[in-house]
Structures are given as C-alpha cells and as structure tokens.
Amino acid sequence: MKRLSIFILSIIMVATAVSAESFLKDVKQFLKPWRVDVHLGYEIGGTAPLGMPASIRKLNKFSLTPNLLLGLDAHRQLSGRWGIMTGIHFENKGMSIDATVKNYNMEITRGGQTLGGRFTGRVTTDVTAWMFTLPVQATFDVSDKVQLKLGPYVSYLTNRNFSGYAYDGYLRVGDPTGEKVELGNQAGERGDYDFSSHVRRCQWGIALGADWHITKRFGAFADLNWGLSGLHKSDFKTVEQTLYPIYGAIGLSYRLR
C-alpha cells in the first residue's frame, strides 16, 4: 500500500511538472511579441473648468506640486506600422492655486459652524490625487525612432484631496442678498473647506503622446492626459463648474525586453 501511494504521488508530481513547463512555455510564447518599457516622468498641468467662469475674476497664483509618474508599459506590433500599447501607471496629479472671485458659490466652516452662500474675495485651493492608471492605446510608427499613441485610460484614486480656504472677503449666506459674514486672512478668521470626499475614486479620459527611441534601451516620451469624467461626483453641486484634470507628462523610458 505504501509503495502504491509513493507511485501515485510520483505520477502526480511528474504530471504537475509537465503541466507547469507547458504553461511557462505558453506564457513565454504569448509574451514573445511584446516589448516592455519602464517610464519615469514628471507631470505638469492642473484641474480646471473649460473656460474661465465669470465668478472667477483673477488667478493670483498657480503652483505645481511634485507630480511624478512611474509606469510599466507593454507594446505589441499588429500590422505594418500599427500596434497596441497597455500597462499600469502609478502617478500623482496635484496643484495649488489662489484666485480672486465674486459671487462664487461656497460652503465653508469657521468656528465649528458651516455656512453656505456666495463669496466675494480670495480663495486658495489645494488639489492632490495619487492613483493607478490603466491606459489602452493604439500606436503608429512614424519612423524607427518615433512612435505616436492615442487611446482611453481609466484611473483609480488611492488618495484624494480637494481642500482650501476663503479669506479677505465676505460671504453672503444663502444667496447674494443674504446675511454678510466677513472673512479675514488669519486662522480662525477665514473660512475653511474640504471637499475631498466628493472627488471621484474612478476617473477616465483620453491620452495621446509620442515615444522617441534614442538608443536600443533608452528613450524619451511626452504625453497629454485629458480627464473627461470630471473631478467631482455628479451629485456634488457646491463647485458649480465641472473641473477636468488636464496634465502633460515628460520623461525617460528604459526597455526591459
């Protein structure tokens, strides 16, 4: 009985080894036509409405944050100069702005009290989002060195922040004729807000760009990512304008295989 058990176990081990070898062979065969690159870049851009609304009178300050991109992309040639590219990116998109507004719809917190209405004065906003992004793009080889790419992407936000404060102005509670509440520029005098929970976890858009293969291993790239879903959830109405994340990225690439 013991010998029979050992015999059966040996057969199972041999069959498993053969299956594993066959599976690895199939995987290698599938991956053979694919080129794999690592991308490291810096993103420049912002989150803004399409067109400046009348309630935003002046942009006083715009500051970039350390927006980094790390990506692993796989490319496969399909027919002639055409191909397909996909991968996974870990990236950060953020900015900090200060604007002068008039009759701007706001909801603030001051002294533990929440007030909503129309604000006239200055507003500072900080936006930060860390995310994983999955692009799927068609590619076209302009030459042996240059490749164009275009296609949709989907992002899942792991961390999101949309917060700031209103200051040096006044809030008309409820509507433009409501009670006037003065806001200063010191802590306790200004009105703080945090709309981070209203930022979409899942966002999507369109991406286009170009890759330049400098050597066999090293290259450079330039991309433009245009968010189409809007930054906030559809039921969020405090910020009246739909804000779109629009960012360009430049960086270097390294070919793994």
Q: How far apart are CA 148 and CA 211, in angstroms?
A: 6
The reply to whether 163 and 248 lie within a common domain is yes
Please give the share of the chain, as a percent, with pLDDT higher than 70.
Answer: 88
pLDDT digits (tens, 9 = 90+) for 190-241: 999 999 999 999 999 999 999 999 998 999 999 999 999 999 998 888 888 8
Q: Please count the structural domains in the chain.
A: 2
Does residue 218 share a domain with residue 193? yes
In this structure, are 11 and 40 located in the same domain?
no
Helices assigned H by DSSP within 135-248 = none
Whether the CB-CB separation of 140 and 107 falls below 8 Å is answered with no
Are 69 and 180 in the same domain?
yes
Whole-angstrom Cα Rg for the chain: 26
Beta bridge partners of 254: 38, 218
Q: What is the DSSP track for 41-97?
A: EEEEEEEE-SS--TTEEEEEEEEE---EEEEEEEEEEEETTEEEEEEEEEEEEEEEE
Are residues 225 and 189 part of one domain?
Answer: yes
For residues 94 and 21, state if they share a domain: no
What does the pLDDT look like over 93-111, one tens digit per residue? 999 999 999 999 889 888 7
Q: Are residues 26 and 112 in the same domain?
A: no
Give residue 166's Cα distance to chain centre. 26
User: Domain holding 132: CATH number?
Assistant: 2.40.160.20
- Show the tokens assigned to 199: 């930022």
| pLDDT in the model for residue 50 | 84
Whether residues 111 and 95 fall in one domain:
yes
51 and 69 belong to one structural domain: yes
Q: If you average pLDDT over residues 231-257, what whole number do you get?
A: 91
CA angle (178 as vertex; 175, 181 as ends), nearest 5: 110
Q: CB-based contacts of 255: which residues, under 8 Å, 6+ apart?
A: 35, 36, 37, 216, 217, 218, 219
One domain, residues 28 and 38: no
Beta bridge partners of 104: 119
Domain co-membership, 69 together with 192: yes
HSE at residue 64, side-chain half, CA atoms within 13 A, is: 12
- The parent domain of residue 159 ranges over 34-255
Looking at residues 165-179, what average pLDDT do you find?
88
Are 39 and 127 found together in one domain?
yes
Q: With contact defined as beta carbons under 8 Å apart, do 164 and 123 qualify?
A: yes
Average pLDDT for the chain? 87
